[in-house]
Amino acid sequence: MNNDLILILNAASFAADKHRRQRRKDADASPYINHPLALADILAREGGVEDATVIAAALLHDTVEDTETSIEEIEDRFGKRVASIVAEVTDDKSLPKEERKRLQVVKSASKSQGAKLVKLADKTANLRDLVATPPADWSAERRAKYFEWAREVVEGLRGCNAALEASFDEAYAKGMNSGPSHHDRRG
């Protein structure tokens, strides 16, 4: 019995169930679970990450923030290490959006290795989605501001995985050089 594989499959199943009624903000309103699955794929394929705890945490990274799930529930089901990473990448929704964004920048350098990997994959996936299927109501200026903010967060994550950092840099460059958003980077 492969416990790593079981952990990852349990996390994927749990996340799919928790996010089952959620949709992405893209024009197609694609199923939300596509996002956590993209993170797991980026980590494993592009980053060479083989730590099942990190992959499981990536699959679960938005469950506490975006569903009726507690860190305690994650810990009971998936263990302390997975719960710890999920807790590190979960924003405090009681804070205003701008403060949550500021804290992501300020705290990124002090995160654990596992949390840095998940956060880096998250930002990469988000930039790719903004290029491929941006939300219909996001202006070019708003997309450009997101790209710049994501870059600021990732600056604190550097040094954790060169391959993932290269994937982020590629997604960032592609987004900043496509469409009207590259004319005004600071918006």
pLDDT, tens digit, 9 for 90 and up, residues 14-43: 999 999 999 988 878 889 999 999 999 999
Q: What is the signed CA dihedral for 139, 27, 47, 144, rounded to 10 degrees?
A: 0
Which residues belong to the active site? Answer: 65-66
Specify the amino acid at residue 148: E
CATH of the domain at 111: 1.10.3210.10
Q: What is the signed CA dihedral for 163, 167, 169, 171, rounded to 10 degrees?
A: 180
For 45-79, give one letter per residue: b (16+ CB within 10 A) or e. ebbebebbbbbbbbbbbbbbebbebeeeebbeebe
Distance CA 27, CA 110 (A): 36
Token couple for 94: 């009681």
Look at the chain and count its residues: 187
Specify the amino acid at residue 7: L
What pLDDT does 179 receive? 54
| Angle at CA of residue 19, ends 16 and 23, nearest 5° | 115
3-state class of 135 per DSSP? strand
The rounded percent of the chain whose pLDDT value lies above 70 is 95
Distance CA 30, CA 22 (A): 9
Of the CA atoms within 13 Å of residue 65, those in its CB half-sphere come to 18
> Considering the entire predicted model, what is its pTM?
0.93
- The number of folded domains in the chain is 1
Cβ atoms of 130 and 172 within 8 Å: the answer is no
**Structural domain of 89:** 3-183
For residue 75, name the pLDDT band (cuts at 50, 70, 90).
very high
- Summarised one tens digit per residue, pLDDT across range 114-157 is 999 999 999 999 999 999 998 988 999 999 999 999 999 999 99
The residues with which 26 forms a beta bridge, in sequence order, are 135
